[in-house]
Amino acid sequence: MATQQPVLVNVPTREGIPNPVLGSGDEVANQSVTKYPSGTKVIVDYNKGNEHVRVEHKGSSLTLCPDGSVKMVSAAGKMGIEINGEGYMKITGVYNIEATGDIGIKTVGKCDFTVGGDMNFAVTGGFNVAAKAMNFASADKIDIATTDLTMKTAADMIIVSTGSHLIRAVSGSIITSDTTLLLDSSSGMTLTDGTRIDIN
């Protein structure tokens, strides 16, 4: 089957820059290749089952794949997407982001995350959160498992439980205050120890 040549309509030209080369010699059966003086190449492949369009420039490429998907490759340097207005991204399948360097996300407004299933964080280094105010609301329970746990507050600290409240230590437990220590109960208080209780 003879190789079909592309038909270009209203190809822009500038003085001293020739038109793109049609039928550049890189064609295979049912494929047309257009080369521009800058080195840019446009490949249109209409082989059944492998129909695609690819634009190549200095190692980077944009491919309209046979299944309708789009593949962009940046061979060197940076790759940027700028939207001067509202933008959105909708993905109906699995979406993965992998970076060999750092990732930064910055917004001047608020940022909302809505997760329909579980949400997991795996951090091999430190995990730091800095906020003006922080609220946690859990419909079920919160479990914290760690080697050491330190909680510090510059002002008051209040723990309120509508049910029972248990503080337990396997080896020992110390409650200390630089001023007055107040234990208050509206019904009653029981201090129980298997051996003894010392109050000095």
Any idea where the domains of the chain sit in the sequence? 22-73
Its pTM stands at 0.55
User: How far is residue 121 from each of residues 118, 125, 170, measured CA to CA in Å?
Assistant: 10, 12, 30
- Phi/psi of residue 33, each to 5°? -125, 130
Digits of tens for pLDDT over the chain (200 positions)?
Answer: 554 444 444 344 444 444 445 455 554 567 888 888 888 889 888 888 889 999 999 889 999 999 998 999 888 777 888 888 888 888 888 999 998 889 999 999 999 999 999 999 999 999 999 888 888 888 888 888 888 888 888 888 888 888 777 777 777 777 888 887 777 777 777 777 767 767 66
Helix/strand/coil for 104 = coil
